[in-house]
Amino acid sequence: MNYQTFVPHKDLSDFIKCYWTLEVSAEPNPEKQRAIADGYIEMIFHLAEDVKSYTDEQGYTLQPRAMILGHTIKPFFFEPTGNVDTFAVKFFPYGLANIIQCPLKDLTDKVLPLHQIFDKNFSQKATLQINQATNTQQRISVIESLLFEMLSQKKISDCIVKNTIDMLFATKGNSSVSSLLKETPNYQRQLQRKFSQKIGLTPKQLGKIIRLQTALRMLLNNPTDKLYHIAYDADYYDQAHFIRDFKEFTGICPKTFWKDTSMEVASLMYAKE
């Protein structure tokens, strides 16, 4: 299993967290893998075999070959059908709001074909050229060229939304909306509305997801730490609060985390910042 990340062009760094690739050789009996919330929205291209998304214990659909994965509030399972070769763009929460017209709340907990979110010209060019490219740098160049073209025609997302998200990431999800807007309390209602439209989550939901990712990274990098130490370091009220949030977004308890084979890919992807 090979997972790598790549930095975006400096002029796109306000919109894109990173590009990532994942290569996994086919296994005779692949394990279902758990996808969990991380606060980002992803544009994903499957370049090898199909990948299943499970809607329940048995029912599944095949993921689109070129797709958008919205914010995940509920954990879900996916499973490769053979070799995995994936290229993806990880957008900051406000990044995609500057590019598409669709309200991001309509993407929450959904896997949608690229052509349903982007116009025909972008989706066809991106899908064709990404698949024709022979390496990751070529794929990055394709996406960046298309995104620069789109961004030149778009208005940048509201500063109040971007600044709030930046603060949530800077404080690892531990800032409340009221504290963020303590000097401008009249904006709180406006911010909630703008968040729902442009980001697809409430500020509180995004803060919880960012804090969970902080705790998950601690758990991955310090497996011998006691849960109450992680809860304290991640600024949860107590251990019970940490366990409750962890289970809400992953579907499992942190105590069983290391024994759960469905967390193998997530563990690989979220161990690093």
Per-residue pLDDT of the chain (273 residues; tens, 9 = 90+): 899 999 999 989 988 999 999 999 999 888 888 888 888 999 999 999 999 988 776 788 999 999 999 988 887 889 999 999 999 999 988 888 878 878 888 888 899 999 999 988 899 999 999 999 999 999 999 999 999 888 765 555 566 777 788 888 888 877 665 666 555 556 677 777 777 777 888 888 888 888 888 888 888 887 767 888 888 888 888 888 988 898 888 888 888 877 777 777 777 777 666
Per CATH, which fold does 2-151 belong to? Answer: Jelly Rolls (2.60.120)
- The domain spans of the chain are 2-151
Nearest to 13 by CA among 146, 139, 148: 148
Q: What is the pLDDT of residue 66?
A: 97
Q: Tell me how far apart the alpha carbons of residues 26 and 1 are, in angstroms, rounded to a whole number.
A: 10
DSSP H stretches of helix in the chain: 114-117, 120-132, 136-151, 159-170, 177-180, 188-198, 203-221, 227-233, 239-250, 264-270
Q: What is the rounded CA–CA span in Å between residue 257 and residue 267?
A: 10
Q: Which amino acid is at 249?
A: F
The three-state (H, E, C) secondary structure of 174-193, written as one string: CCCHHHHCCCCHHHHHHHHH
3 state SS of 263:
helix
